[in-house]
Structure formats: C-alpha cells, structure tokens
Amino acid sequence: MKFDTPATTNPIDQLKVIGRPTDRIDGPLKTCGTAPYAYERHDVAPDAAYGYVIGAGIAKGRIASMDLSAAEASPGVLAIVTARNAGALGKGNFNTAKLLGGPEIDHYHQAVALVVAKTFEQARAAAALVRIAYTRAPGRFDLAAQKDSAPLAKPSAFGGPPETRVGDFSGAFAAAPVQLDATYTTPDQSHAMMEPHASTAQWKDGKLTVWTSNQMIAWSVGDLAKTLAIPKENIRLVSPFIGGGFGGKLFLRADILLAALGARAARQPVKVALQRPLMMNNTTHRPATIQRIRLGATRDGKLTAIGHEGWSGNLPEGSPETAVNQTRLLYAGPNRMTATRLAVLDLPEGNAMRAPGEAPGMMALEIAMDEMAEKLGIDPVQLRILNDTQVDPEKPERPFSQRRLVECLRAGAETFGWNRRNARPGQLRDGRWLVGMGVAAAFRNNLVMKSAARVRLDKHGVVTVETDMTDIGTGTYTIIAQTAAEVMGLPLDKVFVRLGDSAFPVSAGSGGQWGANSSTAGVYAACMKLRGVVAQAAGITAPDAVFADGMVRAGERALPLAQVAGEQGLSAEDFMEYGDLDKKYQQSTFGAHFVEVGVDAATGEIRVRRMLAVCAAGRILNPKAARSQVIGAMTMGVGAALMEELALDKRQGFFANHDLAGYEVPVHADIPHQQVIFLDETDPLSSPMKAKGVGELGICGIGAAVANAVYNATGVRVRDYPITLDKLLDKLPAVA
C-alpha cells in the first residue's frame, strides 16, 4: 500500500481501541521475569558456552604480540577468537569489520579477542591469562584542539547538507541592533541502558541464528551477512525483548559478531554479553559538541539573523552530531547560516543516541534564545512566539503539515504558572533554596519508513500479527495490537503479536522516532488487505463490509470472523510505503518544556522541583505508553543537563568512568512528579494512523529548560554542560 493521499474513510478513526490509555500487553511477562531476553535464552540454547570479550588496552596503535598459550590451557576453554584466526571479515555499512580489532587498534576497548569456555567464570579466568603487548601511536583525542582544522562534514541521507545559507547572514548580523554571540559545549554521553549488548549465537547446517538485543533487525542481518560473507537467507536474528537501546543498539555491534564467530569456533552455541566496564568505550556514544550561536534581532524581538555552527568528532568514516539541524526549521528569520564540521578523533565511535542532533543542539539553541530574551527585555515565552513560522524558513514554499508550537507554549505557561516567574534572576528564595523557572521549546522531525507486516485470522477469531519490528520498552507490542484490533473490529484480547524476528516481514524498526507511526501503518496496511480477503471469503463486496464486535457485516448479513476464517484460516501480508508528501510538507513534532528548580544557596546543589511538557505530536496512539516515553525522555534530559558526562582522559584517549558507578544518571530520588499534556491533534499527511513520533521529542529542549531555570534561580549562566555545582559555587549570590 502506498500512502500519498489521505484516505477519506479510515477505520482507525473509530477510536474504539486506538487512542485509549492501555496497559502494556507484555507487562506481565516483564514484571514476572519471564520475558525471554537475549542472554537468557536457555530454552533455545541449553548447552551454550560463554564468551568473554577482551578489549584493547590502548586507544591508538597496534598489537605487537598476543600470547594465548596460558589461556588456551586453562580449564574449560573451548576456543579463543582473534583477528588472526577469525578469517577475513567484510565491511558492512557501519565498518563492521573493525568490531574485532587487530593488529591495528582504532580505539580503547575495541574488542581484540573472545575467550570461549564452558562456564562464564572459566572464560573470565582464562581471559585474564591472555598476554598482549602493544605499540602505542599518537592519537587525536581532544575536540577543542582539533576544532579549527575540522572540515565541513559530508552530506548524508539523515543529516542532510552540512551547510545551509539563506539571505545575507553576515551583513544582517552586523547590522542587527541587538546581538548575541555565544559558544556552548556538550560532553560525550553514554546510552547507559540497563541491558548490556548481549547475544546468543548458534550454527546449524551452515545457517546462523542469533538471539540478540537489537533495534533494527533487517539492518543488522544485512551487515552481518556482509561481514561474514554469507547469504542473508542463512542468517536469522531474533530480538523479541530489548532492555533499553536509545540508539545504541541500532546497528550490528561486537556482541553479535563475536557470538557468531565464537559459536563457529567452538562448534556449539555461545553467549556473549559485553561486560559493563566495556560498554562505554566499546559501543557507540553521543559525541561531544562545541556550538557557536549568533542571533541578531530588532529591538522589538524579531530575529533578523540566525547562525549556528557545530563541531563534533568521530572515527574516520564516522558521522557528525548534527546539532544545527533544528535551527534550520524552528524559528523565522530572513538571514540564516548553519554549518556542521567534523573532526577526526581516535575515540570510540560516536553515533545515534536518543534524538541525535536535536537533543544537544537544542541544549545550546534554547539557552541562546533565553539570553537574547534577556538582552531584549522580552519574556522568553513571548520571544519564541514572536518568531514562530508556519513554513520552512529555508524553503518558504513548503508549509508545515502541522505546527502548534505557539499553542504548546501558551498552554504550558498557563498550566505551569509562568506568570509568577520573577524576570530578575536570583530574587526568589524558599529557605536556603534559590528558586527559578525555565522554559524551552521542543522540536523533533517526523520521519516515516517503509514497514511491512503479516496477519493471520484463525478459526477461533484470533488475529496474529507478525513483523520484525522491535519493542525497546516503548509499548510497541501494545500499539500494534491496538491497531489490528481497531481495523479488524476485535477486542484487544483477540490479537496476538509476534515481534523481532528476521523471519517476519521487514518493518521500520525502532529508531529515529519513526517506529510507532511507521510500524502501525504497516500493520494497518496488512489488516486492510486481510479485510478484503475476509470479505471475499464471506461473499461480501469489500467496500460495503463493516468489521465490528468480531463480526463482518454488510446489509442484513453478519458473520463471525471465526466462521469466515474456517479451519484453514485466512492471511494477508502488505507494507506501507510513502509518496512525496514529506517533500511537499515539512513534517515535525513540537512541544514546550517548563521546569522549576531550587539551588542551594550555600552548596550549589540543584534540585528539580517541577516539570511540565506540552506536546503536539499527531494522534497519540496510546496515551499511557506515550506519557511513559515523554517522562523517560525528560528524565534523560535532566541527566544531560546536570550530571551525565563521559570523563575523557585526553592523554590516553579513553572514557575513564566506564561503568554505572562513575557515569551518573538520574534516579527516582532526583526526579519530581512530571506532568505531560498532549494537544488533541491528528496529522492526516503523516500516515493513515495520523500519528507522529513522541519518544524523542521529550528529550529535545528539556536540558536547556533546566539550565534556564538554574540561571533564573541564581543569576549564573553556565554554557558548558553538565551544570555541576563547581560551575556555580564561586558565583552564587551571598548567603544572607
């Protein structure tokens, strides 16, 4: 099915099941501990051996020698996989051959060996006996030192052009009556998901099955096939449950490849889970940024010049953090310039992390908007409203399909009590606490991806949905079941959903905030096709068929779906692909974040007291699951604002705090009650579901809202994240 014109009649619009706050159908499995995660698949691989990964002890150079003799003689050892004996590895789309390093070393903790033994303890003990000598080489580890020589990044499908120019930015900025020129930095950040990268691999009759934790099944099958030089048809990836990903499990990673290589070498199934101390340096992370923002405005608050330049670093052939991209779309202004530059660094690979680009980009842009508001003497909410636009500022001929940023800001200001905010910073006290409020806009593009599904109706009137879509804790099982139930006129308990298996039709996968909208649209397409099959089997003209209450009706005829399915059942498979609506209309999601903080006047400790997000993100398929996604994203944003930082050793080139003890993330005690408001919105130009994504919108802007609240509380402007108390202490108002 192709979506290029909104349908006039759509069974989704009945809203009998879709749009209702529904408990997750997979919830009991997770709360009872029976959901089968990748490392725990004892049912499919009861005789599995254990692999222990050895990571490189240097950041740049080569392996001079590797002595395996003591490890090979250690009790229980079945095999040791290294680059020397693994065979030639092909290069996948994300340079997957380098997932096993040697003799050249590209970054610290790059996997250089896998020790396979009968038990985990034996594998770990043997790994400690491997002796590796390295020859170090000088490396580039400091983004600031490489900044001035960093060239423009290469254009990409997701990142777009590295540079855009509209009008005369330089002239307009120089002539602007009010100017802001400020630089902001964000640090390297880790996904820090609860479940590590983990896989169980098994070879049988020349075919490979991997039970893994992966967000994009089809991508990883293709990359694994290229890396191992075997046909895709000989690989099956199974990933029904994922314990967090945030973008870190979008691609083929070392655990999958090493489990496959280990199982081949040991001639039996092998489990591999990356040890937590390897996670921060071995897998991908959100790279640090340096961002320069220049804004020019008239004295009444109209932006006349908008310039945003971003620098980030990555391995050769890596991609940049596209922190400037939201600035191309968020605010009006006739003279504009954005540029993304990429420095080559010998650090672990930087790649997608929840809202790549917008999350760190808005941490800078939305502070800059507050700083400009202060220069102008205009309320920060009003400044954003003054510079709203209903068309793409760089392509005025292309309107937004929906854009309700102003409504989000106004609704949020009224709900939060913004009118009680003191515009003068450092004025409001509550005992020992300095209290302040902050605001930021939220923006994330709406992306759609081709997605397919297969549906079967059986003799019991149960519809089974199969698609390789994954559920990374977002409620995908539930919204897919809701979609099938709505279209087929069934109660939710008459739908069974199977996900995360490459044997199923290829879906959009989980990433980029495209998963929910795209995957449900694919299920919609398959169910609409099944409706036609059912109508034909019932002898009913398809357009006249009404599906409701487990029946198919036309005129005076009414037949139970179970009866129409018969003993053999009925099935259909289809996909949803998209025309050029996204080229005719700019499709984005919008929101507004409001935060109140308290800052201890003596110690500089920061406590978030209240949080509110107002979101406009198309039809909300399941408000309960969507709220969970937004409050989770807001929590991540608080972490980014106040505590998260991979501490980089610039001499040795590695992240020193590579565990959950040293890399701090928010816990329940850090987060107050969070309020989320969804505007009643549908976007018929987005998909048949009229939905968009919301899982990443919640992290976009929240960090800046926290930073702006800290400034309002203290009068101390911090432009270098995270905002830790050492950056406040010397500048706080004197304690009375």
Tens digits of residue pLDDT in 6-41: 877 899 999 999 999 999 999 999 999 999 999 998
Going from the C-alpha of 274 to that of each of 37, 86, 308, 401, 552, the distances in angstroms are 14, 19, 38, 43, 51
Residue of 452, 410, 429, 322 whose CA lies nearest to 590: 410
Is 371 one of the annotated active-site residues of the chain?
no
pLDDT score of 544: 85
pLDDT band at 141 (very low <50, low <70, confident <90, very high): very high
Looking at the DSSP assignment, which residues form a beta bridge with residue 597?
436, 608
State the DSSP code for 56.
P
The full DSSP string for 460-501 is: TS-EEEE-----SSS-HHHHHHHHHHHHHT--GGGEEEE-SB
Is the pLDDT reported for residue 43 higher than 90?
no
Residue of 645, 634, 643, 646 whose CA lies nearest to 705: 634
Give, to the nearest 10 degrees, the angle between helix 623-642 and helix 702-714: 50
Mean pLDDT to the nearest integer, 556-562: 95
Whole-model pTM: value is 0.97
Single out the catalytic residue among 195, 321, 358, 696.
696
pLDDT band at 583 (very low <50, low <70, confident <90, very high): confident
pLDDT tens for each residue of 143-181: 999 999 999 999 998 899 999 999 999 999 999 999 999
The full DSSP string for 504-524 is: SPP---S-TT-HHHHHHHHHH
Q: Which CATH architecture has domain 38-138+207-231+240-275?
A: Alpha-Beta Complex (3.90)
pLDDT tens for each residue of 377-432: 999 999 999 999 999 999 999 999 999 999 999 999 999 999 999 999 999 999 99
What is the arrangement of strands in the sheet containing 207-212, beginning at the earlier edge strand? 77-82, 111-117, 49-55, 270-273, 198-204, 207-212, 235-238
pLDDT score of 735: 67
How many residues belong to the chain? Answer: 736
pLDDT band at 4 (very low <50, low <70, confident <90, very high): confident
- Alpha-carbon gap, residue 691 to 18, rounded angstroms: 11
Mean pLDDT to the nearest integer, 598-607: 97
- Report the amino acid identity of residue 166: V
Q: Which CATH architecture has domain 2-35+448-583?
A: 2-Layer Sandwich (3.30)
- The tokens describing 207, both together, are 């075919």
Is the pLDDT reported for residue 588 higher than 80?
yes
Is the pLDDT reported for residue 137 higher than 70?
yes
Mean pLDDT to the nearest integer, 439-463: 98
φ and ψ at residue 78, rounded to 5 degrees: -105, -35
Is the pLDDT reported for residue 736 higher than 70?
no
Is the pLDDT reported for residue 94 higher than 80?
no
- Alpha-carbon gap, residue 309 to 324, rounded angstroms: 6
- Alpha-carbon gap, residue 1 to 526, rounded angstroms: 9
| Averaged confidence pLDDT in the chain | 97
Mean pLDDT to the nearest integer, 330-356: 98
- The answer to whether residues 292 and 309 touch, using CB atoms and an 8 Å cutoff, is yes
Mean pLDDT to the nearest integer, 590-618: 98
Give first-to-last CA distance, the chain, whole Å: 69
pLDDT score of 178: 98
Tell me the HSE value of 464 on the side-chain side, using a 13 A CA sphere: 12
- Alpha-carbon gap, residue 312 to 163, rounded angstroms: 14
Domain residue spans of the chain = 2-35+448-583, 38-138+207-231+240-275
Do domains 2-35+448-583 and 38-138+207-231+240-275 share one topology? The answer is no
- The answer to whether residues 351 and 284 touch, using CB atoms and an 8 Å cutoff, is yes
Mean pLDDT to the nearest integer, 61-70: 98
